[in-house]
Amino acid sequence: MSDHATAKPTDRFDLRALYEASRLLSTSDDREAVVRNLLLSTLSKLLVTRGAVLLFDPLAQRFRVADARGPVDLTPGTTLDLPLPPSDHLLHDAEVPDALRAHGLCLVVPLMFRHRLLGLLALGRKATGQPFSKRELEFAQALATLSAAALHNALLIEELQQANRDLDLRLQQLDTLFELSQEFNATIDRDRLAHLLSLALMGQLLINRYLLLVRVEAPDGTASFEVLASRGLPATLPPERAAQLGRLEHPLLLEEASATWDWLRAFHLYLVLPIRQQGVTQAVLGLGRRINGAAYGPGEIEFLYALGTLAASAIRNTFLIEAQIERQHLERELQRARQIQQRLLPQRLPEAPGVQLAACALPSQDVGGDYYDVLYESDGSLRLAIADVAGKGMAAALLMANLQACLHVLLPLESTLEQSTAQINRVICDNTEPDQFITFFQARYTPSTHQLTYVNAGHNPPLLLRASGQVERLSHGGLLLGVLPEARYEAERLSLNAGDLLVLFTDGVTEAMGPHHEPFGEDRLLTCLQAHRHQSAHAIVTAVQQAVEQFTNRPANADDDFTLVILKVLPS
């Protein structure tokens, strides 16, 4: 019996509520609307009479009340100094900060998007006086996750709108950065680079006091931070002070900082910006107040980050000329990696009685994270596989190669699809970080019996177009790979008939964006498949690629890896 058949009404209610909230949030690009919908939906569904949403300001390291309902005595716009939540888990009762409990709030749900804290959803007790059930807490956390993604998108849109309003200033800053980048790259004189940085800070933002520390790597692999440019401040710092600055991960506003930073305040610095690349602080830019007393706005902060990155990179290059040679070497290696990766994909699809096979794989970068395979098994069956590794570039390519190796090693062992998928999942879990995962689908088709068995591990459900016109989505299986080492998988078995069409694809097909920021979508894919289903498998692949390119006015792999596999059952 399926899960749907045994689900309780409350389960269906919660799923429907989440679906409705997701649809509402996905169509909203207004931050206030997202916050309001989150708060009202949570209050109404959990029977709570008071609540608030607080948004996190990473520059000030404080929370601002975005919306409040019920008798909480919190006015929108009010800022609160709250400790950062230790994780994305819910906080109950005594775990809730005192400043929130004082307003009758006893439950806090962090709003997280890809490990970035966006804010907090704070709720009072239920009107019934009963404690929150496990299902209610899961509902609140799921709704918070959906809202965090929508809130993240709304914040991005606001930033774009602000960018448009500041277009003239940004163009001037871009011109300045472009000219500076040329000058920075044209010299290896550190004194000249420091002079250029001083001119840019003074000319653009009226800053005459600054300090730039850059991470310098020694031949033995150790790294330290050194003052490589300064004005109005010491030319050197004690190693322990430099190391303390190098550990910064977030902007530091000194007028709000703890006593730990009194030594920086003694230098009359106002703002410290860590310049991070790939999760590592590569430079630190300390700045005094502007001569005209004006505040640092978002545009100025972005300009300073870009300018600091340019200056730090140029100065580090004076010490690391060898790195340029190494980068050129890596570029050549990347080209070789693409050649190797292409050889990991089938060079020629096998021929099997009663079926036609065709495939297309177009990486969006030099190397990609999509993978497909079509293999013969010892009993004459065909093994079809398709996968999409999270991310792009070399890391995704290495994971893809790992997956390909697992599949090829397990194929001769004649294990079931459920067993091989579980084994591959364990290998991926053991060799990846927690935020890396793979969506994966594999199937076994036996031409002699027309039987298809498949397992879907979180991949876009392949489409099975029956000769009758019916469309089935192959979604049965389990969790995507790399999430839970002990995950279990279930297979589904189907019979294929003459004229049936099996279509495997990655999200690079359906999520290809058109000029109006609209995805190609599954409906358009189905329309194209229906229109060309009587053609050969190869012609169908070509038709889909052309349809995507016509819709986007760009190559099919412009935004993401484009991978498509077609199996067509021929008449006996």
Confidence of residue 13 (pLDDT cuts 50, 70, 90): very low
3-state helix, strand, coil in the chain (%, to 5): 40, 25, 35
Q: What is the share, in percent, of the chain residues with pLDDT greater than 70? A: 88
Cα separation of 145 and 143, whole Å?
Answer: 5
Q: Is residue 371 part of a domain?
A: yes
Give the list of residues 6+ apart from residue 231 with CB closer than 8 angstroms, or none: 198, 201, 208, 209, 210
Q: Is residue 335 part of a domain?
A: no
Instruction: Please tell me whether residue 43 adopts helix, strand or coil conformation.
Output: helix
Last residue of a domain, one of 284, 319, 354: 319
CA distances from 546 to 362, 386, 468, 543 (A): 13, 21, 26, 5
Cα separation of 54 and 58, whole Å?
Answer: 13
Interior CA angle at 321 toward 318 and 323, to 5°? 120
Confidence of residue 523 (pLDDT cuts 50, 70, 90): very high
Q: Give the type of residue at 540.
A: I
Q: How many domains does the chain have?
A: 3
Q: 72: how many CB neighbours lie within 10 A of its CB?
A: 20
Q: Residue 166 pLDDT > 80, yes or no?
A: no
Confidence of residue 299 (pLDDT cuts 50, 70, 90): confident
**Range of weakest confidence among 319-333, 430-444, 525-539:** 319-333
pLDDT reported for residue 326:
63
Looking at the structure, tell me whether residues 279 and 222 fall in a common domain.
Answer: yes
pLDDT reported for residue 28:
63
Counted residue by residue, the chain has a size of: 572
Residue 476 DSSP symbol:
-
pLDDT reported for residue 20:
67
Q: Is residue 508 part of a domain?
A: yes
CA distances from 344 to 18, 431, 556 (A): 41, 20, 21
Q: Residue 281 pLDDT > 90, yes or no?
A: no
Tens-place pLDDT, residues 208-226 = 888 888 888 876 778 888 8
Higher pLDDT, 87 or 78: 78
CATH number for the domain harbouring residue 61: 3.30.450.40
pLDDT reported for residue 95:
92
Looking at the structure, tell me whether residues 53 and 157 fall in a common domain.
Answer: yes
Looking at the structure, tell me whether residues 279 and 373 fall in a common domain.
Answer: no
Q: Residue 9 pLDDT > 50, yes or no?
A: no
CATH number for the domain harbouring residue 481: 3.60.40.10
Quickly tell me which residue has 């997202």 as its tokens. 34
Instruction: Tell me the DSSP string of 168-181.
Output: HHHHHHHHHHHHHH
Confidence of residue 4 (pLDDT cuts 50, 70, 90): very low
Q: What does the pLDDT average to over 109-128?
A: 91
Tens-place pLDDT, residues 534-557 = 999 999 999 999 999 999 999 988
Helix-helix angle 190-205:167-185, to 10 degrees: 170
Confidence of residue 506 (pLDDT cuts 50, 70, 90): very high
Phi, psi of 568 (to 5 degrees): -115, 130
Q: Residue 165 pLDDT > 80, yes or no?
A: no
Interior CA angle at 437 toward 426 and 29, to 5°? 155
Last residue of a domain, one of 285, 319, 353: 319
pTM, 2 dp: 0.46
Looking at the structure, tell me whether residues 383 and 531 fall in a common domain.
Answer: yes
